[in-house]
Amino acid sequence: MWCNVGHAESKWKIEEDQKFFQVRKEGTIQKGDHLTFLINKNDCNKIEQTFTFYTSKKTHQLNK
């Protein structure tokens, strides 16, 4: 019997490494932002959530 591990819609990306399944979606406002869920293979009852975002600091010129 064959069973699919997961199904993703809306451009979700699913990756697997030695310890985790990683489910990630790129942000809708700013390119490069991500929402990520990590599922530990040894304890799939817990999900860790991480996210990235960009910010900038306005630079001021000093008048001399």
pLDDT category, 64, cuts 50, 70, 90? low
Which of the 8 DSSP states describes residue 28?
Answer: S
Q: Is the pLDDT of residue 63 over 80?
A: no
Beta strands 20-26 and 12-16 are: antiparallel
CA distance 36 to 33: 10
Q: Which tokens in the block code for residue 64?
A: 């001399």
Residue 32 near residue 51, CB atoms below 8 Å: no
pTM, whole model, 2 decimals?
0.62
CA distance 9 to 62: 50
Query: pLDDT (tens digit, 9 = 90+) per residue, 4-60?
Result: 555 555 688 999 999 999 999 988 777 778 899 999 999 989 899 998 877 777 777
Give residue 49's pLDDT.
93
CA distance 53 to 19: 25
